[in-house]
Amino acid sequence: MPESAISTPPVPPPRLELTGISKRYPAVIANDQVNLQVGPGEIHAVLGENGAGKSTLMKIIFGAVKPDAGVMRWNGQEIRIHHPQEARQLGIAMVFQHFSLFDTLTVTENIALGLPSGIDMAELAMQIRQTGDDYGLTLEPHRHVHTLSVGERQRVEIVRALLTRPQLLILDEPTSVLTPQAVQKLFVTLRKIAAEGCSILYISHKLDEIRELCHHATVMRGGKVTGTCDPRQESAASLSRMMIGAEPEQHPRSTTQTSGDLRLKITQLSLPKAHAFATALDNIDLDLFGGEIVGIAGISGNGQQELLAVLSGEDRRAKPDMVRLKGKAVGHLGPKARRSSGQSLVPEERLGRGAVPEMSLAGNMLLSHQTAPLVSHGMIQFRQVTQLAAQIIDRFRVKSSGPDALAKSLSGGNLQKFIVGREIMRKPDVFIVAQPTWGVDVGAAAQIHQEIRLLRESGCAVLIISEELDELFALCDRLHVIAKGKLSPSVPIADATLEQIGVWMSGLWNERINTPGTAEDKQAKQSKQNIDATSNEAVTHSADRGSV
């Protein structure tokens, strides 16, 4: 055949191409000349610190925010997306970190809300079941959402997105509520979706996940793209350098433990559901001593919020002796009395509980600092309030315009640093924190972790409620698991493994896990890759049937 007759197939255009995308707000440039390309069937990560501009960029792609400048091309054609409905019509679907489901509706009814009107509900139920079976996302279409586990709720969101037959799927922190076993199963599903030609934009702060799953990565810092790479060829340290300009400080765990007094004691704590969709607490026992960090792991929705409400004093239904703080019965007392007894608490919800959105950072200091020197004889000392807020901003490297900045103007990670700093500055005897680094970038997480370690070394008793197993393994001296409102026995962190905790998160802490004796075996057991496929399937199936 003559050489001139040989032709090469045309290279398809990028599925999505952004050129020079910019978005300015009065106090900040969220996106500054951002370029991004995502090919067909590509799993593409977007990395960056809190406030780097990732969320704004995703909202621009999905049509929720209009850019000030730049060009967007879809399959080679220049487009403008004015609202999310247009994005869906083009074939862009997004699964947000916070689910948007109605508890009192069925799976089918929830999914129907995001589809064109007039759809046949029986036909839709069949499509849901078929799509779930095809992608390993099994669902029962007629179940009400309030009966679903968190893993099943995420399946509803993903199946809803897949039913629109997307060409681009955007996932925001998709593994924040999943067990290690469920994460691996999700990855199998995502690889299958990508193999069929769907492009995936994957937003996560978990660098190990990105290195395992994604084909390419775009790194952002300060609203700008600072680099692109193949994350499979990078280390966690090199990705961190691209994200924050340096590797996060390494603070090895202290091997010494202060033998402190009993600071917090929970005894046979049982409470019925506060409302129809709450979780009842069932005979919970816990001891917390000064100079130690104790963690509570578990899948969201298994009683963490209810336990935290009891510990904070928001829920005062407990008998006084069920909760003792430094020897004093406080089960019936409110938050102010517990703060006066030396307790600080960081709630899971930043805006609305941890901070008032419309108030300044200085004003938010007064939510928990209501004694001298900030308040004296009933009078607010505004200068001291502002000075302490400025100290927190400086010490915890909170990116803001200063103490007068409104809480709602900060990114989630920066607001978290401020709230944690506000409570640490009270120098508590007991420090309780829920999800300390949820949605926080790697640099900020390292800083928060170090501050928690310093509290422990000062003799403070620390209780961490978190769904981040890596975080709990890095910080804690002992670990409990909460499932269906029950609390497991504690296990020393040196004896715990990810496999064991993953099984316990299904409520199966009576199951015995073999414990290797060699250091090499212990190190291997703490690797996600060591969870075998049989355990993955069995535990995930158990969890997804609502046993957690």
Q: What is the DSSP string of 145-205?
A: GGGS-HHHHHHHHHHHHHTT--SEEEEESTTTT--HHHHHHHHHHHHHHHHTT-EEEEE-S
Q: Which two tokens stand for residue 209?
A: 């996940």
Give the pLDDT confidence score for residue 43 in this predicted structure: 97
Q: How many CB atoms lie within 10 A of CB 209?
A: 19
Q: Per the structure block, which two tokens stand in for 57?
A: 């960029």
Q: Best-predicted range by mean pLDDT among 188-192, 331-335, 353-357?
A: 331-335
Query: In this model, does residue 105 exceed pLDDT 70?
Result: yes
269 & 405 share domain: no
Residues of 508-537 as b/e, b for ≥16 C-beta within 10 angstroms? bbeeebeeeeeeeeeeebbebeebeeebbe
Domain check: are 328 and 456 in the same one? Answer: yes
pLDDT digits (tens, 9 = 90+) for 21-77: 999 987 788 999 999 999 999 999 999 887 788 888 999 999 999 999 999 999 999
Q: What is the mean pLDDT of residues 148-163?
A: 82
Residue % of the chain over a pLDDT of 90: 56
The more confident residue out of 318 and 249 is 318
State how far the Cα of 528 lies from the Cα of 180, in Å rounded to an integer. 7
What pLDDT shows up at residue 472?
Answer: 93
CATH of the domain at 173: 3.40.50.300
Assess contact for 285 and 487: CB atoms under 8 A: yes
Is the Cα dihedral 54, 59, 65, 70 positive or negative? positive
pLDDT category, 527, cuts 50, 70, 90?
A: very low
Residue 543 near residue 299 (C-beta atoms within 8 A): yes
Does residue 95 fall inside a structural domain?
yes
Mean pLDDT, all residues of the chain = 85
Largest Cα–Cα separation, the chain: 97
Of 14-28, 173-187, 330-344, 529-543, highest mean pLDDT: 330-344
The answer to the question of residue 40 being in a domain is yes
Q: What is the pLDDT of residues 222-258, one digit of tens each?
A: 899 999 999 999 998 888 888 877 665 665 555 555 5
**Residue 257: inside a domain:** no
Report CA 388 to chain centroid distance, whole Å. Answer: 29
In a domain, 287, yes or no: yes
Contact 264, 329 (CB under 8 A): no
- Strands, DSSP E only, in 303-453? 323-325, 328-329, 343-346, 375-376, 379-380, 430-434
* Residue 52 belongs to some domain of the structure: yes
Phi, psi of 491 (to 5 degrees): -130, 130
Predicted confidence (pLDDT) at residue 545 exceeds the cutoff of 60: no
Of 113-117, 395-399, 413-417, 432-436, where does mean pLDDT reach its minimum? 113-117
Q: Tell me which amino acid residue 250 is.
A: Q
Contact 202, 158 (CB under 8 A): no
Alpha-carbon Rg for the chain in angstroms: 24
Please give the Cα distance from 118 to 360 (Å, whole number).
Answer: 47
Tokens of 314: 């928001």
HSE toward the beta carbon, residue 396, CA cutoff 13 A: 29
The contacts of residue 436 (CB under 8 Å, 6+ apart) are 346, 416, 420, 448, 449, 452, 464, 466, 471
Q: Is 150 within a domain?
A: yes
Secondary structure element (H or E) that encloses residue 18, with its range: strand 16-25
Residues 80 and 47 in one domain: yes
Whether residue 10 is contained in a domain is answered as no
Confidence of residue 175 (pLDDT cuts 50, 70, 90): confident
Residues 325 and 190 in one domain: no
Across the chain, how many H-helices and E-strands are there? 18, 23
Q: Are residues 144 and 282 in the same domain?
A: no
Q: Which of 96, 86, 79 minimizes the C-alpha distance to 15?
A: 79
Q: Please classify residue 85 by burial: count the beta carbons closer than 10 Å to its beta carbon, then call 0-12 exposed, 13-18 middle and 19+ buried.
A: exposed
pLDDT tens track for 250-287? 655 555 555 689 999 999 999 999 877 688 999 999 99
Report the distance separating Cα 139 and Cα 142, nearest Å.
Answer: 9
DSSP for 201-245 reads EEE-S-HHHHHHH-SEEEEEETTEEEEEE-GGGS-HHHHHHHHHS
**180 and 91, same domain (yes or no):** yes
Domain match, 456 and 316 both: yes
Q: What is the pTM of this model?
A: 0.69
Of 365, 394, 422, the residue that ends a domain is: 422
The torsion angle over the Cα atoms of residues 225, 230, 231 and 235, rounded to 10 degrees, is: -100
Would residue 349 count as lying in a domain?
Answer: no
* Same domain as 336, residue 199: no
Q: What's the pLDDT at 525? A: 40
Identity of residue 231: P
Range of the domain at 335: 262-342+428-547
Domain count, the chain: 3
d(CA 83, CA 87): 7
The upper half-sphere exposure of residue 368, i.e. CA atoms within 13 Å in the direction of its Cβ, equals 30
- 439 and 502 inside one domain: yes
Strand partners, 434: 465
Are 287 and 378 members of one domain? no
**CB within 8 A of 375, min separation 6: which ones?**
366, 369, 381
Residues 317 and 439 placed together within one structural domain of the fold: yes
Does 225 share its domain with 374?
no
Residue 495 has pLDDT above 60, yes or no: yes
